[in-house]
Amino acid sequence: MSGSAKPGRRKAAGAALRYEHVRQRPSAWAQAREKASRRESWGGCLVFLAVAAAIIGFALTIMTLGTELWGSAAPAWPGRGYGFAAVVGAAGPLGLAAVIATLGRTRWKTNPLRSLGWVLASLPGVATSFVWVVVVFAGFRPKHRRDWDSGCYSRGKPCWVHVEYPWVWAVGLLSTVLATAVLFTVLFRIDKARRSTAAG
C-alpha cells in the first residue's frame, strides 16, 4: 500500500485572550479629595463674587455718600471744609483703635456669648473707619488732568473739594498724625501704669 497516511490536521489555534481595560473605582480618599476640590472651587467663586460686590458697593458709596458729605456736611461744619477734614482725620485712627480694642477681646472658644457682645461693641468703630475711608477716597482727584472734567468740579466732587479747600489734604493728614500720636501716648501711659501696679 502506498502511504495512506492522512494528512496531518492543522493544529487548532489557541483561543485568543482578550483583555478589556476595566476602570477601577476611585478610592474613598480620591473621592473625598475630588469633593474637597469641588468645594474649594465653589468657595473660591463665592469669595471672588463677594469681593467684587464689596468693591462695587464701596465705589458706589464713595460716589454717593462721599459726594453728599463733602457737598452738604463739610460747608455746614464748624470751620467749613477744613474743620470737617480735621474731625475726619482724627476719627480714622480712633475708629481703628476701637475696632482693635474690641475685637482683640473676643474668645470664641471659651466664651462665645461675650465675644458676640464685643463684636457688637466694635460696630461703631467699624462704621467710623468706613466713613473715614469713604471721605478720604471721595476727596481724591483723578490721576490725569484730562479727567478733570465739568463733572469733577460739580459740588461735592473731588475737583470741587480741592478748589474750595486747597489745603484740605494737609489739614486731614496733620489731624490723623496728631490723633495717632495722642493715641499711642495714652496707650503707652496706660501700659506703664499697669506694669507699675503689677510690680507694686
Q: Other CB atoms closer than 10 Å to residue 155's CB: what's the count? A: 12
Alpha-carbon torsion (20, 25, 29, 31), positive or negative:
positive
CA 101 to chain centre: 19
> What would the DSSP string read from start to end of 77-101?
STTHHHHHHHHHHHHHHHHHHHHHH
Predicted local confidence at residue 9, as pLDDT: 57
Q: pLDDT by residue for the chain (200 residues), tens digit each? A: 555 555 555 555 555 555 555 555 656 666 666 665 666 566 667 776 766 776 777 677 777 888 899 999 999 999 999 999 999 999 999 999 999 889 888 888 888 888 888 889 989 988 898 889 999 999 989 888 888 988 899 999 999 999 999 999 999 999 999 999 999 998 888 888 888 777 76
Cα separation, 137 vs 194, whole angstroms: 39
Do 141 and 152 touch, CB atoms closer than 8 A?
Answer: yes
Do 165 and 158 touch, CB atoms closer than 8 A?
Answer: no
Residues 6+ apart with CB under 8 A from 63: 138
Give the predicted TM-score (pTM) of the model.
0.68
Burial (CB < 10 A; 0-12, 13-18, 19+), residue 122, is buried
Residue type, 165: Y
> What would the DSSP string read from start to end of the chain?
----PPPPPPPPPPPPP----PPPPPPHHHHHHHHHHHHHHHHHHHHHHHHHHHHHHHHHHIIIIIHHIIIIIHHHSTTHHHHHHHHHHHHHHHHHHHHHHHHTT--TTT-HHHHHHHHHHTHHHHHHHHHHHHHHHHTPPPSSGGG--GGGGSTTSHHHHHHH-TTHHHHHHHHHHHHHHHHHHHHHHHHHHHHHHHH-
